[in-house]
Structure 1
């Protein structure tokens, strides 16, 4: 997985910034029933999600051709798409955009993305994730040419996508692209939404998302 187009610094109140979540199947097996999940957090552990009124996150719905809000429970997080199958060397690109409002706290932030996949019986399930650090800066700050840093943990949830989650088609990846995409595997995860926010508990395993 990778995130492209995200700036390293975002000025509060500067409007929408487009970026994309890319998921590449660099294994030798076809992956079935993939669900794509994204969020924006203020900490690298992915535990302190931004409230939607502070940081707005949206995903492009290719069917209805509209931007859909990601605001599960009032926080900047939610499912961004699903794919029935992803063949080896195929990839999907999911357009996203983020808006840091004037009420957002100045400081660090993380964009977080995760993929969940499994077999038809839901007995063989895997996770892949990626996260990039950006910095929220004061209004009017020059952010031209800034680049995010990779790091942190992505949220993973036990919940399933709802009926409004758009289907995303995969395409054949460009030659050599697999070597440029970072891959981090998760053995399992659970999301617990409590009164103060969302807490994500994850257990890591060796690199590479596996069934």
Structure 2
């Protein structure tokens, strides 16, 4: 879908924004030729230089991302639904800076597909919910170290606004890492599809794990 391809390209640019302390890869992304390509190559390249001649590993197994509890159906105007996103360092060494990325959006042909759903992140530091609207991944989640074989789980919630157009929706979860030695990479993307139901409809399909 055109919206998914466009948003995927924007996601790549946002999630690869440079950290202040570490070397960052040069961001370059283009819309993909198909939904299949969009699912498998967020940037359109198997790897990319970090600007100092070192290669960044994309679709790396060093960092994995999973989403749990996201409903397969959301009724427009319905209440908040909690779900979670977990990032895991699968290696024997720390990842110095990890940046999560998540977008929850309509896949229909609407002017602002990401406004069809409101999604929030529960910040454990402040205890407050932070809205996704117009927030960069760095401002929303922040960069954090992830020790060897450790996980970071994000507490989230979403709902479809009352004026949301019924139809298809999706969530894209990802994560990037950078280390002080210049190594860097991205987890394989995790995609979840769901349906936005009309106002007053009763969701019948259970939540799923992506």
Residue 63 (str. 1) matches residue 125 (str. 2): yes
Higher helix proportion, which one? 2
User: Is 1:51 aligned to residue 114 of structure 2?
Assistant: yes
Alignment: residue pair count: 142
Partner of 1:130: 190
Deviation of residue 141 (structure 1)?
1.9
Aligned to 1:163: none
Moved more, 1-10 or 140-149: 140-149
Once the two structures are superposed, residues 105-159 of structure 1 have per-residue CA deviations (whole angstroms, 9 ceiling, x without a partner) of: 11111112111111126x3221113121111011222214523474xxxxxxxxx
Higher strand share: 1
Would you say 1:13 and 2:72 are equivalent positions?
no
State how 1:77-88 maps to structure 2 within 5 Å. Answer: 78-79=137-138, 80-88=140-148
SS in 1 for 2:113: coil
- TM-score normalised per structure 1: 0.60
Q: Which residue of 2 aligns with 1:34?
A: 98
Structure 2 regions of 5+ residues with no counterpart? 1-64
Which structure has the larger Rg over C-alpha atoms? 2
CA 1:51–1:43: 2 relative to 1, 3 Å: closer
Q: Secondary structure at the match of 2:93?
A: coil
TM-score (norm 2): 0.60
Gaps of 5+ in 1: 151-211
